Amino acid sequence: MAIISPSILSADFVNLERDMGVLKSAGAPWAHVDVMDGMFVPNITIGIPVVAALRRVTDLTLDVHLMIDRPIRYIEAFQKAGADYLTVHLESDTPENIHKSLKMIRDLGMKAGLSIKPGTPAQACEEYLSECDMILVMTVEPGFGGQKFMADMMPKLQWLRRQLDQVNPKCLLEVDGGVDLTTAPICKNAGAQVLVSGSAFFKASDKADFVKQVQA
């Protein structure tokens, strides 16, 4: 069964506690938290204090996606804030620091994720696969919600799933961007196990049914 991780980027920021309750009531086990710094991506969203606030009001798995420059600087702070999964972008720092970041995340008791933008080939992840608990493939350009799903990213998922099955079969494969009831089966067929859905989840008239269909 797949895991849905609704993105709070599409939630009502005035009512985040309420919307975390909406996720829980709908049966979503995870909440995806997009952290953007205005440098690595052209948008600024939320940071460490909001993650800490979310942790106080929910027991859902906090799937924190760092779209920030040189994330190694903030890993300990996000651990203290309550992140469960902490994902860094391969493109956000030097290879040496990405290796260090993944190790630090795991040493601090979190699950380590590595994400790649649409323009980054799957093969760029190869040297990190054994160090990850999750690989995140972006199916939109990172920075803003509500973008159109990029189906041409599916070969990346397929390649990564084959490689992970050989070197790190417990590592999850996550997709973020444009996931709805039409695109979710495409992602799962390509090997995705965790599906991030923002606007489609929050716009769904029956959110519990949406969760069931995505996770089926």
User: Which pLDDT value is given to residue 148?
Assistant: 84
List pLDDT tens digits, range 18-56. Answer: 999 999 999 999 999 999 999 999 899 999 999 999 999
Distance CA 117, CA 141 (A): 7
User: Which pLDDT value is given to residue 36?
Assistant: 95
Dihedral sign computed on CA atoms, order 30, 195, 205, 44: positive
Hey, what amino acid is at 196? V
Half-sphere exposure of 148 (CA within 13 A, CB side): 3
Residue with tokens 């990405």: 98
Residue ranges for the chain with pLDDT beneath 70: 144-147
The secondary structure element, H or E, covering residue 20 is: helix 16-26
Note whether 105 and 119 are within 8 A (CB).
no
Kindly list the catalytic residues: 34, 176
